[in-house]
Structure 1
Amino acid sequence: MKMKFEFQFPDIGEGIHEGVITKWLVKEGDMIKEGDSVAEVETDKVTTEIPSPKTGKIIELKASNGDTIHVGDVFVVIDTEGSAEEVSSEDKKDTLAEKKEIVEEENAGVVGEVISSSEVIAPSDEKEGNSASENVAGKALATPVARKLAKDLGVDINKVVGSGPNGRVMKEDIIKASKQPSEAEHKEVLDETVKTTVDAKEEKIIVEEEKIERIPLTRIRKTISQKMTQSRFTIPHTTAMDEIDVTQLYEFRKKYKDSLKEEEINLTFMPFIIKATISVLKKMPEFNATLDEENDELILKKFYHIGIATDTDRGLMVPVIRDADRLSIIELAKKVDEVSNSAKNNQIELKDLKGSSFTITNYGSIGGYYGIPIINYPESAILGVGRIVQKPVVKDDEIVKAWILPLSLSYDHRIIDGASGARFLNMMRELLENPEMLLLKA
């Protein structure tokens, strides 16, 4: 007799309630050992592999690639070959079917935190017999694929009678419902008919007249979208821009860059910019702050956790260098490389994406010159760093070549006046134009 163990999606910490299966690492019939990875799951910030807690044979995969699973959902069934800790899915099937309901909610996303949903989908092997009208709160029982298809085709899924197990609304039900003309359509004269076909596997909609492709947003893209919207519509942004002559800093870095390479240290301009920024933040603490609107208080932070906005294949991420004021230029160079590479290689931990007090975004690394960076809410400011270029400038009534660094400083105009933004950049100029002064004051 097979001893079945129902492996539930585990709580992996950091407030994560759900994830999306991006890739199964096993198939039904595979033999696995305890600790072997069974699936790759994407959360809002990281993609991680889920290890099996049991040794045995995979007898059922409860979800497909692209499905959303919640903490506590059974997504793998394992024959443990006589394990005393069996959990029988057959004994629990009817109970689960009765208890499953769909509750949709939206939580504000923040960088480093999870956009969660409590939507629960009953197992696909439920008993048949219930109709769609028997679902809790009048909401249809359906998979995310069917819900997305209904949205794309403009079908009210809660009015569709499902033909699947336990009244589940299937993709075929959605397609059938979309072809039934509404009362309004009976009264209209259509000039032409747009034939729509659905590629369920790729979740694409192809319109004959104009081919389009619909790509579901990844969890990290949803987080970025909500975060940027929250920042832009909550904080009244203003931006100050300036150009700084960093010729001396350019020569200073050039002098030591090659020798440090032998120690595998990549000496970029970023460590110097971080040092200068922290020095200015200590003199102008309102830029290292958060506005508490509920209590009408300005929270000045006495720590300097610098977020480094990083472009990755999965989207914008902001790893944090904690207590950056305690690090030397060389230590900062190492740390910048470390957190940036971890983010780009999807090896960053959630705790390293939280708690920044001020953020620096370096669009100059990909060729950008000026920009208007959006504040990393709930911080009060963000510094944008452009590409350093050689330009002609006037010095002592003569035109000479100089290396110029463009900076853009966006800040919360509710708590910081325009003059303060100009003072911030003036202090940055004083330090970056004279690297010896920077090292003396750092």
Structure 2
Amino acid sequence: MGTHVIKMPDIGEGIAQVELVEWFVKVGDVISEDQVVADVMTDKATVEIPSPVSGKVLALGGQPGEVMAVGSELIRIEVEGSGNHVDTPQAKPLEPAPAPVQAQAPARAEPPAQTAPQAASCRAAAPIVPREASAKPLASPAVRKRALDAGIELRYVHGSGPAGRILHEDLDAFISKPHSSAGQAPGGYAKRSDSEQVPVIGLRRKIAQRMQDAKRRVAHFSYVEEIDITALEALRQQLNAKHGESRGKLTLLPFLVRAMVVALRDFPQINATYDDEAQVITRHGAVHVGIATQGDNGLMVPVLRHAEAGSLWGNASEIARVANAARNNKASREELSGSTITLTSLGALGGIVSTPVVNTPEVAIVGVNRMVERPVVVDGQIVVRKMMNLSSSFDHRVVDGMDAALFIQAVRGLLEQPACLFVE
């Protein structure tokens, strides 16, 4: 028998160190060639580290959350033969691990002739086998909060994500199925004395560092404007009714992107990045719009490149593609960097006003709040209109307050008179 040592790979682009996010193996495990052993994170992207050999895990080189240098020992494996001792594998873009197959759980045979209602009754009677009380279920902070609000103990919930991670879909499945009293989570009004410590590692650590750095370095100021989008919403619905089947459904986002692109022609100082160490502002001709996207692991900002050259449907399709890639942890490093201005929206949860944080080194971020119907005065008459606020933030070191207000007013004018979006 020999020993094979896998070193932390060189992921490229001059990166000297990465953060170890998660192990998928433990000491004593027998692993196969190409099996993913760990996730690591660079400044932007998460990558998987596969094993180039089959063997038995002898030692792990670090703990989740530890920052490791490229070339340091990651994992030691016992292999047949003399072993290669040192190897540096190529890192692969992160892809979700396949859900555990049903055969991993004890099978429950059901008579073939049993009717659907009878089968449902049998399933309802079967108690859920929880994890050991000391076993900590893997789940994102968002999943944990949702479970806490619903009064669900995560140790009763089967996780279908990588390494048994509990996803939102798993909570949905748990809530939708009847459970026996043996497996029920305590009621929402039951007294609780438990607590939980969540390590700030991986993407959550990167988010925390970027937000702290942005608030420390940027002279933030926010500007909120109310917009009547009744005409825009009517146009969107008409276009979807006519072209939705052939071209895809349009949300408000591609219209907002178009309005930003047109307005930025008169405000180049807002489509800019600021290198505050070199004291250089770069004004960009291309409009690369960052699309703030919330996933199970936290906030990511995939980039819609060259929005100025995209059609309404072309931009809509690309927004959906990069946002889905980010949510599924498949976005490349290039797709997560290089934005010149950011658009952020919480959709139906957008509230009335927000104060988004500038995505440095950019100098502006446009925030979209919830659309609501409410009475407004138009030409002396009270009428019901569809209203929405834009809550936007700017770097006051680069953008003057007057310029920010005029820019948002220009966006407002384009959205309230949507024909102007397409007049050159």
TM-score by length of 1: 0.66
Report matched runs for 1:7-26 at 5 Å.
Answer: 7-14=6-13, 15=15, 17-25=17-25
Q: Measure, in 2, the Cα distance between the counterparts of 1:19 and 1:390.
A: 47
The alignment of Structure 1 onto Structure 2 pairs a total of residues equal to: 318
| CA shift for structure 1 position 264 | 6.8
Could you say what secondary structure the match of 1:284 adopts?
coil
Match of 1:4 in 2: 3
Could you say what secondary structure the match of 2:225 adopts?
strand
Q: Measure, in 2, the Cα distance between the counterparts of 1:403 and 1:27.
A: 59
Answering whether residue 230 of structure 2 is matched by residue 270 of structure 1, we say no
For 1:52, give the aligned amino acid. S
Could you say what secondary structure the match of 2:334 adopts?
helix
The root-mean-square deviation of aligned C-alpha atoms, in Å, is 2.7
Could you say what secondary structure the match of 2:292 adopts?
strand
For 1:372, give the aligned amino acid. T
Larger radius of gyration: 1
| CA shift for structure 1 position 332 | 0.8
Q: Measure, in 2, the Cα distance between the counterparts of 1:58 and 1:231.
A: 45
Q: Measure, in 2, the Cα distance between the counterparts of 1:67 and 1:298.
A: 35
Q: Measure, in 2, the Cα distance between the counterparts of 1:46 and 1:414.
A: 29
Answering whether residue 290 of structure 2 is matched by residue 307 of structure 1, we say yes
Q: Measure, in 1, the Cα distance between the counterparts of 2:386 and 2:246.
A: 27
| CA shift for structure 1 position 47 | 3.8
Q: Measure, in 1, the Cα distance between the counterparts of 2:86 and 2:255.
A: 61
Q: Measure, in 2, the Cα distance between the counterparts of 1:415 and 1:232.
A: 15
On the 8 A contact 1:266/1:334 being kept in 2, the answer is no
Q: Measure, in 2, the Cα distance between the counterparts of 1:22 and 1:371.
A: 33
Q: Measure, in 1, the Cα distance between the counterparts of 2:348 and 2:60.
A: 44
Match of 2:373 in 1: 390
Q: Measure, in 2, the Cα distance between the counterparts of 1:315 and 1:403.
A: 31
Q: Measure, in 2, the Cα distance between the counterparts of 1:242 and 1:314.
A: 31
Report matched runs for 1:12-411 at 5 Å.
Answer: 12-14=11-13, 15=15, 17-25=17-25, 28=28, 30=30, 32-33=32-33, 35-43=34-42, 45-54=44-53, 56-63=54-61, 66=64, 68=66, 70=68, 71-82=70-81, 86-87=84-85, 212-263=195-246, 265-294=248-277, 296-411=279-394
Could you say what secondary structure the match of 2:339 adopts?
coil
On the 8 A contact 1:20/1:43 being kept in 2, the answer is no
On the 8 A contact 1:24/1:65 being kept in 2, the answer is no
| CA shift for structure 1 position 384 | 0.8
| CA shift for structure 1 position 294 | 4.8
Distance verdict in 2 for CA 1:81–1:359, change over 3 Å: same
For 2:419, give the aligned amino acid. E
Q: Measure, in 2, the Cα distance between the counterparts of 1:241 and 1:67.
A: 38
| CA shift for structure 1 position 368 | 2.1
Report matched runs for 1:396-435 at 5 Å.
Answer: 396-435=379-418
Distance verdict in 2 for CA 1:413–1:69, change over 3 Å: closer
| CA shift for structure 1 position 317 | 1.0
Could you say what secondary structure the match of 2:255 adopts?
helix
| CA shift for structure 1 position 379 | 1.2
For 2:58, give the aligned amino acid. E
For 1:347, give the aligned amino acid. K
For 2:285, give the aligned amino acid. K
Could you say what secondary structure the match of 1:283 adopts?
coil
Q: Measure, in 2, the Cα distance between the counterparts of 1:273 and 1:289.
A: 18
Could you say what secondary structure the match of 1:28 adopts?
coil
Runs of at least 4 residues off by over 6 Å: none
Structure 2 stretches of 5 or more lacking a match?
88-192
On the 8 A contact 2:24/2:37 being kept in 1, the answer is yes
For 1:298, give the aligned amino acid. I
For 2:32, give the aligned amino acid. I
| CA shift for structure 1 position 287 | 0.5
| CA shift for structure 1 position 19 | 2.8
